Amino acid sequence: MKKTVLVSGGAGFIGSHVTVELIEAGYDVVVADNFSNCDRTCYEGVKKITGREDLPLEVMDFCDLDAVKALFGKYHIDAVIHFAAYKAVGESVEKPLMYYKNNLVSFLNVLEVAQATGGCNVLFSSSATVYGEPDAVPVTEATPRKPATSPYGNTKTMCEDILHDAVKASGGALKGILLRYFNPIGAHPSALIGELPRGVPNNLVPFITQTAIGKRECLNIFGNDYPTPDGTCQRDFIDIVDLARAHVFAVTRMIEGKMKKDVEIFNVGTGRPLSVMELVNAFEKVNGVKVPHKFAPRRAGDITAIWADPTLANTEMGWKATRTIEETLKAAWAWECRLAGK
């Protein structure tokens, strides 16, 4: 029988790509979203890519406990992937209570209801932000977590802890996987779904694509005096489709009972560091467009260099990032061009 996966925040950037990969892997998916930070573009795009015009959509807020209860009453859910959360680092510094309330309460509600309705496999979307400024790179899952540099980052660390405690106390009803994402970028090769930031993008790649298309005048490269080979920060940029595929491996591992511990943690990255400057250069080269840029002061809270050691995900889950940075940056550009009607 087909298994059903609930994707909270399933209409967003990561959620929509994960939904596509799950459907293509043979899962039934229920998308749930309150559209607080996205419109219906990606949900419609997912339906087109998969040909699933009947893809269930529940418009709801995971902070509403009754709504979460109703959702779990309506569907038999084998696994839940929880994305529904706020994610802007700077905004979280200005509005910490809004971040703690939304990101923690929604996850608590999912866990409470999942357990009460007989148990479930829970995949939580965590972040490399939990490693803070690491003492050594690359980071493995055993690298100690460091205090987060923002309330947003704190909510990731706290939700990791909450999942550990909830699983431990659940008597086997709950099992969990924490996926720690590095820097997800790009778009689906169909250019039907991709990143749709509201207002001025905080993240690097949407800022690059919007500058290249002329929506922004100039990209500020925050800091060129870091102790890195070219002075700009280094990150592990992971293709969004590769990242989405990691969720299929993780969900299957949980559903097929292949986990070795009740909570498992995997880094989801390429293992390949790329500097901000290298990324900008690669984007210009592969797409044959210019990205006007200048160096600007460092951005508060930025980490100098972080990239993943993805060995555990490679060997244990059998997942590996396969897309090249060129493919990824081409897809990001194709998506921006499609948005601009070009």
Positions annotated as catalytic residues are 152
Q: Which of 207, 266, 333, 335 binds ligand UD1 (CB under 6 A)?
A: 207
Q: Which of 222, 278, 284, 289 binds ligand UD1 (CB under 6 A)?
A: 222
CA distance 182 to 301: 16
**Shortest Å, Cβ 63 to ligand UD1:** 21
**Shortest Å, Cβ 323 to ligand UD1:** 18
Stretch that binds ligand UD1, among 53-61, 78-86, 97-105, 198-206 (CB under 6 A): 198-206
Does 150 interact with ligand UD1 (rule: CB under 6 A)?
A: yes
Contact positions with ligand UD1 (CB under 6 A) in 299-328:
299, 301-303
Does 149 interact with ligand UD1 (rule: CB under 6 A)?
A: yes
Using alpha carbons, select from 143, 128, 124, 247 the residue that is nearest to residue 181: 128
Does 220 interact with ligand UD1 (rule: CB under 6 A)?
A: yes
Does 38 interact with ligand UD1 (rule: CB under 6 A)?
A: no
Interaction pattern, residues 264-303, with ligand UD1; x per rule: CB under 6 A: ------------x----------------------x-xxx
CA distance 245 to 27: 13
**Shortest Å, Cβ 255 to ligand UD1:** 26
Burial call 275-292: b when 16+ CB within 10 Å, e when fewer: bbbbbbebbbebbebebe
Using alpha carbons, select from 143, 142, 147, 152 the residue that is nearest to residue 132: 147
Of 174 and 291, which CB lies nearer to ligand UD1 in the complex structure? Answer: 291
Output the DSSP codes for 106-175.
HHHHHHHHHHHTT-EEEEEEEEGGGG-S-SSSSB-TTSPP---SSHHHHHHHHHHHHHHHHHHHTTTSEE
CA distance 280 to 274: 10
CA angle 258, 262, 267 (to 5 degrees): 80
Does 203 interact with ligand UD1 (rule: CB under 6 A)?
A: yes
Take residue 285 and report the two structure tokens written for it: 């080269």
Q: Which of 109, 115, 127, 143 binds ligand UD1 (CB under 6 A)?
A: 127
Which residues of this protein are in contact with ligand UD1, per CB under 6 A?
87, 89, 127, 129, 149-150, 152-153, 181, 183, 202-204, 207, 219-222, 233, 235, 276, 299, 301-303
